[in-house]
């Protein structure tokens, strides 16, 4: 018995420093880039203890990261078209049973010029559709849908490259400074793709329908959640072909091109959002999002 006890003690003494080292090891943090432009997004990956809670602060917003199948905590951080160029910080908080850790990392936001875009609609339409109550009522619906989706904790539903929802040229680019009847009206939150009325609109990748209905500004609208905090919206449709709660595959027909809501003719307005922040759709279309990026810090 004594010999067994001694062996047990020796083994314990040998492994305990390793256990202590493993427990107090600093989390490993990786970003896919060190500098970005307004409208871009940052990918972050943190290796930390299994039971850790990983929170991130960036550009005055807070994010929680998701644990993937490799036990890495991953997430997207958006940079809005409203963010001025400059030197910013990402702060990372890791809390676990044995660790309470905070560290900040520098991120540079570069300059980017967005051209203007002017449209004209009947003045009565502009006043009605773009009134505070009309815009706020839309935002209440879409924000609630996004928050519920984020809280669901669903990891990436998407697979491989994102496809174009319709084929056509881009008539109005992302982030353009929008004037409606010469009154400034924020930024163009997505891209307008020229396409004839009735053209089938396809899901850019696998996702879950979190909203399918009529909104004041964007007319008949379908919103998809692709996992994490990534969303796409398909606006001004003439017909909706899916229901809220449906899981759709890449290429599933969501509806048809139309001109409902505030629109001057048939086209598809497509947005990509991370949380509530609009991101340049061209960073996703025909591209694959990978998480095996090289270390940048
Ligand atoms: Zn548009």
CATH number at residue 37: 2.60.40.1930
Dihedral, CA of residue 169, residue 172, residue 174 and residue 178, to nearest 10? -170
Q: Of the candidates 60, 86, 109, which is a domain's last residue? A: 109
> Contact, 40 vs 287, CB < 8 A?
no
Question: Cα of 186 to ligand 1 centre, how many Å?
Answer: 12
> Contact, 59 vs 88, CB < 8 A?
yes
Question: Cα of 66 to ligand 1 centre, how many Å?
Answer: 31
pLDDT of residue 261: 95
Question: Cα of 35 to ligand 1 centre, how many Å?
Answer: 28
**Alpha-carbon separation of residue 249 from 159, 203, 204, 238, 274 (angstroms):** 10, 7, 9, 21, 20
pLDDT of residue 4: 55
Mean pLDDT per 10-residue interval, the chain, length 297 residues: 53 49 76 95 93 94 92 95 96 93 96 93 88 93 96 93 97 94 91 97 98 97 97 98 98 98 95 97 95 70
Residue 83 inside a domain? The answer is yes
pLDDT of residue 6: 58
Please check whether residues 161 and 270 belong to one and the same domain. yes
Cα R_g (the chain), whole angstroms: 23
Question: Cα of 171 to ligand 1 centre, how many Å?
Answer: 9
pLDDT of residue 263: 92
Distance, in Å, from the CA atom of 198 to the CA atom of 195, rounded to the nearest integer, reads 9
Q: What is the domain count for the chain?
A: 2
Q: Of the candidates 66, 88, 109, which is a domain's last residue? A: 109
pLDDT of residue 2: 55
Residue 90 inside a domain? The answer is yes
Residue 217, token pair as written in the block: 């500004």
Residue 258 inside a domain? The answer is yes
Please check whether residues 278 and 145 belong to one and the same domain. yes
pTM over 0.85: yes
Residue 7 inside a domain? The answer is yes
Please check whether residues 259 and 164 belong to one and the same domain. yes
pLDDT of residue 1: 46
Q: Which domain holds residue 247?
A: 116-283
Please check whether residues 39 and 70 belong to one and the same domain. yes
**Which one, of 192, 189, 147, lies nearest residue 166 by Cα?**
192
Three-state secondary-structure class, residue 20: helix
Question: Cα of 233 to ligand 1 centre, how many Å?
Answer: 11
Residues with CB under 5 A from ligand 1 (ion): 192, 269
Residue 293 inside a domain? The answer is no
Residue 297 inside a domain? The answer is no
Residue 294 inside a domain? The answer is no
> Contact, 195 vs 167, CB < 8 A?
yes
pLDDT of residue 23: 52
Please check whether residues 92 and 157 belong to one and the same domain. no
């Amino acid at each position: 018995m004594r010999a067994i006890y001694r062996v047990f003690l020796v083994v314990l003494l040998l492994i305990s420093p390793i256990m202590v080292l493993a427990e107090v090891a600093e989390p490993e943090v990786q970003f896919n880039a060190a500098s970005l432009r307004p409208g871009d997004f940052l990918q972050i990956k943190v290796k930390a203890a299994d039971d850790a809670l990983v929170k991130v602060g960036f550009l005055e917003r807070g994010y929680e990261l998701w644990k993937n199948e490799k036990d890495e905590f991953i997430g997207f951080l958006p940079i809005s078209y409203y963010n001025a160029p400059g030197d910013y910080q990402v702060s990372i908080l890791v809390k676990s049973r044995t660790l309470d850790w905070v560290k900040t990392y520098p991120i540079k936001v570069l300059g980017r010029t967005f051209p203007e875009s002017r449209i004209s609609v009947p003045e009565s339409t502009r006043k009605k559709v773009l009134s505070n109550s009309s815009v706020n009522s839309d935002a209440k619906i879409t924000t609630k849908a996004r928050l519920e989706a984020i809280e669901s904790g669903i990891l990436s539903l998407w697979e491989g490259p994102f496809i174009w929802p319709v084929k056509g040229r881009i008539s109005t680019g992302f982030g353009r400074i929008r004037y409606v009847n010469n009154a400034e009206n924020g930024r163009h939150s997505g891209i307008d793709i020229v396409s004839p009325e009735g053209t089938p609109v396809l899901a850019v990748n696998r996702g879950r329908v979190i909203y399918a209905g009529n909104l004041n500004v964007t007319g008949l609208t379908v919103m998809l959640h692709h996992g994490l905090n990534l969303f796409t919206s398909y606006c001004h449709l003439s017909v909706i072909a899916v229901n809220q709660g449906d899981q759709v595959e890449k290429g599933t027909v969501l509806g048809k091109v139309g001109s409902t809501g505030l629109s001057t003719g048939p086209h598809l307005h497509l947005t990509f959002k991370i949380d509530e922040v609009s991101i340049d759709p061209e960073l996703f279309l025909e591209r694959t999002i990978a998480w095996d990026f090289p270390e940048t810090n």
